[in-house]
Structure formats: structure tokens, C-alpha cells
Amino acid sequence: MCGIVGYFGPDVAPSQAEMLLRSMADAVAHRGPDEMGIYANGDIGLGHRRLSIVGLGDGQQPMHSADGNYVISFNGEIFNYVELRTELIARGERFRTGSDTEVLLRLFMRHGEAALDRLNGDFAFAIYDRRRKRLTLARDRVGVRPLFYTTVGNTLAFASEVKALLAFPGVNAEMDLEALDQVFTLWAPLAPQTAFKGISELPPGHVMTVEGGRITTRAWWSLDFPDAGDTDNRGEDQVADELLALLDDATRIRLRADVPVGAYLSGGLDSSLVSALAARQIGKRLRTFSVTFDSAEHDESAYQAEMVKLLGTDHTSIATSGADIARVFPAVVRAAERPILRTAPAPLFRLSAHVRNAGYKVVLTGEGSDEIFAGYDIFREARVRRFVARNPRSQFRAHLFRRLYHYLPGIQSQSAEYLSAFFGAGADGLDDPLFSHRPRFRATAQAKLFYSEDLRASLGGYDAAAALAATLPERFGKWHPMHQAQYLETRYLLSGYILASQGDRVSMANAVEGRFPFLDHRLVEFAARIPTGMKLRGLDEKHILKRAARDLVPPSIASRPKQPYRAPDSESFRDAPYVDEALATPTGLFNPAAVAKLAQKARGGTMTGFRDNAAFVGILSTQLWHRSFADKSNTSSLTENAA
Amino acid sequence: MTIATEIRSFIVENFLFGDTSYELADETSLIEADLIDSTGILELVSHVEATYGIAIKDAEIVPDNFDSIARIASFIAGRGVSQAA
């Protein structure tokens, strides 16, 4: 797990190449503190910062093929590299190292882009073919590992994080206003757009080829579901058995490392199950980590303690207060490189520092399960909304919304009429492709109230939700409504927010690699084919997973009311000294008078609603983003550098 | 000050954060205009109780009574209050 950087094109003077690659690599040094390597030759430059996990002594990068024709810079892990290596050896390949990097390189040399289908892993890599003068960039299926790029003149620059691109002459940090609007609607920029104007993200499951000055990008994998009417005759026992076997194997290959592997244990079903499987496999005491909160509303320590006792893990937790969240929040925004609407990444940023200090570089987590097995409230909410919409006058049906949001006091005290109205039951078209997400998008978009007149004018009639709808695949309309919701959640929020702001960026900021057994592509593809009723049975979320876990996770954990991972939001910043100055930074994006009133409300401690909290955190993070990136724009140019 | 004016002022201050340029008609649905969420309605009810000295039953907290300035003013007037406190 590492950071990669590089460029391909004629605009970098040979005399500047090494210095440029070094400064780009330095910008992502946090991702790979163990080693640094660069390769520059003519139009190609590759750099690498290494976090040594597999092949500690011989996995240095950029790595060259034995014939010198190929060079690779690779971030991530190929978890099935052992099997692929054995297969390649049987075909006559001879390996010089024990690293997964060499396996990836040799597989690519044999099969080209078709090699991607064989990989079970989380990766972003660059491979340069010196004979064809062709660069290939590729990213894993669901977007665990990041890859960004931009063009300057006739040169393509790319890197694991945008910070490294900002070290490239001529690249400046300017907010992409459409991307900002996407965050204030969808929670994340819509790939390939990023928060930075002119800088793109290679979307998950995509491969890019640069050859002869031409750039081509295509999807090499995409999430698919069966047609809505398809039947599946498998029984629950059979599906649960297959599910557990796959998850067990996914966990097994994610324990492969030449350093010890720990696990996050949140107290929920997903991380408890992964920890239980890992503990069973390693044959010794598993090291586990968790976050705890002062506030009972967010804290899950009682459940964590129960699992720690059951599994006998060596466990430590890190207590997180609102003040702790406020203290690290500017660093979190710098790590995330985009505005965020929630503070939830902040405790995980602190947790990864704790993991690193404990001497661990790798952790397993339960991330991905809620997307692939329909665990999030949004799936249940959409089902209830459809149920209510079929009989909007029913007093009884709307009360089901209360069952969904048992942890939100504001919902509990509402009348059935208001519940129906808030969730748009009856108002949203049942055939709207974004039906499942409309209440979330609407609630989030309320924060746009704080936009400045200039920002409104610049956006014109831009509609982020319509932009999202325009990217949906042709087959989308054939899927069951719950699968449509799962697609939206997995394709956009998982990669654009959960795995980015709450995953890779906050763990790699402290050089800790997260591994996600639930996102093993075999399991993702298997889960997509499971009938919707087995995933969400009535309002019982992750029904089939609970069944699969019944011998490993006690009912007190598996059947506890779902509590989504959240952290204290605006209340965290009441005493943070930088807030007023950050909010007052003249970015021209927000209405200063309205923001001042919002800040006042936050300080008063009376801000409890989603809209106000999302607005406050979103505006603060946008202002901090501006201060961290746009105020430090790159003034150098390639011409000046070359001169 | 009329009840409707007072309620408008509360809504502009608390849900529009002082943005007076927003065209808010007395009949505008607060939900359809995305001005109010589940917490907002509780803030509104609490404001009406405190300002007008009336107790509001759970069963009365419905869109028919609270989803526009006109409806809120009419609901308050129906409780025998003639003008803003």
C-alpha cells in the first residue's frame, strides 16, 4: 500500500524530471513512509512512496520487468497473488521477488488489460510499455484505491492524491463549482469530477490508456444485477452457506501480509463477523481497535466489549470527544481533499493514528456490507415509502418510519401526516430512477440556502441529481427497485464518500491500509444475485448475512437495532478557535450573513436537525478546503522550471 | 404586528437564516419548499407554544395546521389569540 505519482508527455524537461517526481512523491509521503523510488526516461516519469507490507525486502518500486520493457508503479494489494504466482510459474515464468507487484506486472505482460479480470484486490497502478510507448492506468472494481489525473499542455500527470498533482507546474487548486453542488446534493463529487476544477478521478473499475498522444478510458468492470423478474430457486440455507464460505475466503486472503494484520471492531454485525473469521484463521490472539464516544447517542462500546470478550482479542479503543473531532477536522479535510457534510471521518482519522502508534500497518474492517447486503436505512426507508405511497391515506403505514429511525428523537415525535410529508411518500414518482434517494438529496440540498448569489449565478440551472441520473447504465431500468438503490449507494456513495473520505484518505493519512473482505469482488457479485427478499426481509436488514453469521456472532450483536456509524457534528465545534476565521475567509461561495447566523445557532448548541448540521459541516469544510488548497496555489510553470 | 407577520419573521430568521430575498407567500408549503425538516417542525411548534402561550397536542401537529404561514396563523387565531405577543 503506497502512493503513486507520474506523468507521460513531452512537457517535462529531462533536467527537471527527477526533482519534479520527488516533489510529487513527497506530497503523498504519508501514504508510504518506508521507501521512495522514481523512474524517469524521456516522456515518462513514475514515482512511488512505499508502505512495505508484502515482500518487505524485494518489492521496491517502480519495478522493471526482467527484459526492461515494462515499468510499474503500483498502489494496493493483489490478494490472490499467491495463486496467480503459482499459475504463472506453472506456465514457465520465473520470479525475482516475492512481491505481488511482480505478479501483477508479469500477468499484465502476458494478458494486457485482460489481466484485470484475474485480479482479486484493491489497486491503482501505472504500467509503462517502453516499446509501444504506452501508459496504462487502472483502478480496482469498487474504487478502494484512488487515482487522479490532469493534463498540462500535452502531458498527463497522475497521482494517488490530488496533493501530488498540485506539485506539478501549471496545476492550480480551484473549486469545481459543479462538484461543490454535487457534494451539497449527493454527498460526494460525481466521478470523474473532483472538487478541483480541471482535475479528474479515474472512476472505479476503469482503465485508461495513453498512446500516441491519445487518451482512452473505458470501464473494465461494472456492478450488475439480475432483471427484476428473474427467479432464484436457491434456499436460504444454501445461500447463507455460500455467503459464509466466500466471506471466509475473502478474509483469509486479506490476512496475507508480511506484517501483522489487525481489525476494526465497531460493535456492529459486519466488523464482528470479519473479526470472528479472522480470529479463527490466524490461530492466535487477534489485535482489534475501536472508537468510543462521550455521547451515548454515538457510543457502541458495550457491544465492542461483548465481542472482545467473546473472541478474546487484544483490544484498545480511542475515546473521541467533540473537541477531538474539531481539533483534527482541518487535517481531515486536507486528507479528504473535498468538502464533507459529516464529521464521521474525523474519529477514523484519529483511530488510524492510534493503530499506527500500536505498530500496525494493516486492518480489516466491515466496510461494504451495508451496501451489498442492504443494511442501510435508506433501503428500508425506500421500501416503506413505496408501501405508504400505495395507500397514502393510511394512518398506520406512515408509523413505520418511526421504526426505521428509532435513534432519531426528532422523528419519533412526529405525526403520521408529517412523517408521510417529510419522506415524500406519495409525492415522488415510483418510476423515478432516483426514488430511493430523493429524500436524502432533498434534505441535503436544503443546505444550498447558504449559497452566495454569485455561486447561484455561476451554477445557473445545474442539477446534480439530474447529472447523476444521466450516468446510470442502460440496464438500470430492468433491475428491482432495491437493486437500483443498492447500485446508487455502491457506485456513488461507497466510492465517493465512504471509501474515500471515511476510508482510504483518513487511514492512509497515517499510513494504515484498510482491507475490506465484504468488497471482495466474488462476494460483491454473489450478493448482487441474492434475491432482494433475502437481503431485506420485511424491514429486517441484512437478513441473509445474519443467518450466515449465527454461529459466529451472538444474537445480541447480530439482531441489535441497526445503529449507523455517526459522530457528533456541529456541536463539536462550539469551542474550536479556528471556526470564525475559517467561516469568514472570503471565498465568495456562501452568504456571509446567513453563515454568521448558522454559526451562532451552532454555538448555541441548539442545532439538532440534519439540514443545519450538514450545512454547517459542509460550509466549514469547504472553507477549510479553500484555505488548505486554493490559498496555496502553485505559481510555477513548466516553462519557468525548464528554464 | 399580526400573527402572520410574526410567524414569517420567525421562519425567515430560523429557517432562511435572515434571507429576506426568498419569495415566501403566506400559502407556500413549508415542506414542499424544502424549508422545514422533522427538527424544524418541532422548533416551530415550540416557538408557537412559547410565544402565544398555548399548549399544542401531538394530534394537532399536522401539516393542515403548520405547513404554511397562513395555516399556522389560522391555527393560532383559532385558539383565541388575536395578535402577536
Please check whether residue A575 is in contact with residue A267, taking contact to mean a CB–CB distance below 8 angstroms: no
For B37-55, what is the mean pLDDT?
Answer: 88
Please check whether residue A257 is in contact with residue A362, taking contact to mean a CB–CB distance below 8 angstroms: yes
Determine contact: A450 vs chain B, CB below 8 A: yes
Output the pLDDT for position A392: 73
- Cβ of A422 and B18 within 8 Å? no
Determine contact: B64 vs chain A, CB below 8 A: yes
pTM: 0.93
Quote ipTM for the complex: 0.77
Q: Mean pLDDT of all residues in chain B?
A: 89
- Cβ of A421 and B63 within 8 Å? yes
Determine contact: A399 vs chain B, CB below 8 A: no
Cα separation, A372 vs A142, in Å, equals 11
Cell numbers placing A509: 493519512
User: What strands lie across the sheet with A63-64, from one edge to the other?
Assistant: A63-64, A70-78, A121-129, A134-139, A206-211, A214-219
Please check whether residue A439 is in contact with residue A445, taking contact to mean a CB–CB distance below 8 angstroms: no
On the question of pLDDT at B85 being above 70, the answer is no
Determine contact: B56 vs chain A, CB below 8 A: no
Is residue B83 situated within a structural domain? no
pLDDT band at A20 (very low <50, low <70, confident <90, very high): very high
Pick from A58-72, A107-121, A597-611, A618-632: least confident: A597-611
Residue B33: domain span: 3-78
Of B34, B61, B62, the CB nearest to A446: B34
Output the pLDDT for position A157: 98
CATH class of A2-171: alpha beta
Determine contact: A608 vs chain B, CB below 8 A: yes
Output the pLDDT for position A279: 97
Instruction: Give the highest mean pLDDT range of A366-380, A426-440, B49-63.
Output: A366-380
pLDDT band at A643 (very low <50, low <70, confident <90, very high): very low
pLDDT band at A635 (very low <50, low <70, confident <90, very high): low
- Cβ of B38 and A442 within 8 Å? no
pLDDT band at A416 (very low <50, low <70, confident <90, very high): confident
Our count of domains for chain B comes to 1
Of B39, B61, B67, the CB nearest to A410: B39
User: What are the backbone dihedrals phi and psi of residue A201, each rounded to the nearest 5 degrees, phi first?
Assistant: -110, 135
**Taking CB atoms and an 8 Å cutoff, what residues of chain B touch A421?**
31, 63, 67
Cell numbers placing A344: 464521521
pLDDT digits (tens, 9 = 90+) for A532-555: 999 999 889 999 999 999 999 999
- Cβ of A422 and B34 within 8 Å? no
DSSP-derived secondary structure letter, A562: P
For A240-264, what is the mean pLDDT?
Answer: 97
pLDDT band at A268 (very low <50, low <70, confident <90, very high): very high
pLDDT band at A1 (very low <50, low <70, confident <90, very high): low
Q: Mean pLDDT of all residues in chain A?
A: 93
Output the pLDDT for position A640: 42
Give the gap in angstroms from C-alpha B47 to the nearest C-alpha of chain A.
13
Is residue B84 situated within a structural domain? no
Is residue B16 situated within a structural domain? yes
User: What are the backbone dihedrals phi and psi of residue A210, each rounded to the nearest 5 degrees, phi first?
Assistant: -120, 115
**Taking CB atoms and an 8 Å cutoff, what residues of chain B touch A595?**
17
- Cβ of A415 and B40 within 8 Å? no
- Cβ of B37 and A443 within 8 Å? yes
- Cβ of B19 and A594 within 8 Å? yes
Top-confidence residue, A58 or A313: A313
pLDDT digits (tens, 9 = 90+) for A204-245: 999 999 999 999 999 999 999 999 988 888 899 999 999 999
CATH of the domain at B15: 1.10.1200.10
pLDDT digits (tens, 9 = 90+) for A164-208: 999 999 999 999 999 999 999 999 999 999 999 999 999 999 999
Determine contact: A412 vs chain B, CB below 8 A: no
Output the pLDDT for position A636: 60
Q: CA-nearest residue of chain B to A606?
A: B43
Is residue B18 situated within a structural domain? yes
Of B32, B40, B62, the CB nearest to A415: B62
Q: CA-nearest residue of chain B to A444?
A: B34
Q: What percent of chain B lies above the pLDDT cut of 70?
A: 98
For A434-439, what is the mean pLDDT?
Answer: 94
pLDDT digits (tens, 9 = 90+) for B57-75: 888 888 999 999 999 999 9
Could you list the beta-strand ranges (E) of A140-286.
148-152, 155-159, 200-201, 206-211, 214-219, 261-264
- Cβ of B18 and A594 within 8 Å? yes
Radius of gyration of chain A (CA): 24
Q: In what helix (H) or strand (E) does residue A40 lie, and over which residues does it extend?
A: strand A35-41
- Report the half-sphere exposure of A121 (CA within 13 A, side-chain side): 28
Give the gap in angstroms from C-alpha B7 to the nearest C-alpha of chain A.
18
Q: CA-nearest residue of chain A to B20?
A: A594
- Cβ of A411 and B38 within 8 Å? yes
Output the pLDDT for position B84: 67
Of A415, A422, A593, the CB nearest to B37: A422
Determine contact: B40 vs chain A, CB below 8 A: yes
Output the pLDDT for position A348: 97
Alpha helices (H) in A477-591, listed in sequence order: 481-488, 505-508, 521-529, 532-535, 543-548, 555-558, 579-584
pLDDT digits (tens, 9 = 90+) for A490-510: 999 999 999 999 999 999 999
CATH number belonging to the domain at A236-367+499-558, selected among 3.40.190.10, 3.40.720.10, 3.40.50.620, 3.30.2310.20: 3.40.50.620
- Cβ of A415 and B61 within 8 Å? yes
> Any idea where the domains of chain A sit in the sequence?
2-171, 236-367+499-558, 389-449+461-488
Give the gap in angstroms from C-alpha B39 to the nearest C-alpha of chain A.
5
**Taking CB atoms and an 8 Å cutoff, what residues of chain B touch A417?**
62-64
- Cβ of B31 and A421 within 8 Å? yes
On the question of pLDDT at A607 being above 60, the answer is yes
pLDDT band at A408 (very low <50, low <70, confident <90, very high): confident
**Taking CB atoms and an 8 Å cutoff, what residues of chain A touch B62?**
415, 417-418
Is residue B45 situated within a structural domain? yes
Q: CA-nearest residue of chain B to A453?
A: B21
Output the pLDDT for position A641: 41
Q: CA-nearest residue of chain B to A609?
A: B39
Q: CA-nearest residue of chain B to A591?
A: B19
Please check whether residue A537 is in contact with residue A368, taking contact to mean a CB–CB distance below 8 angstroms: no
Q: CA-nearest residue of chain A to B13?
A: A597
**Taking CB atoms and an 8 Å cutoff, what residues of chain A touch B64?**
417
For A536-562, letters b (16+ CB in 10 Å) and e give: bbebebbbbbbbbbeebbbeebbebeb
Output the pLDDT for position B8: 95
- Cβ of A410 and B17 within 8 Å? no
- Cβ of A597 and B31 within 8 Å? no
pLDDT band at B27 (very low <50, low <70, confident <90, very high): very high
On the question of pLDDT at A632 being above 70, the answer is no
Of B18, B42, B59, the CB nearest to A413: B42
Give the A window 115-154 contacts with B, CB below 8 Å: none
Is residue B69 situated within a structural domain? yes
On the question of pLDDT at A398 being above 80, the answer is no
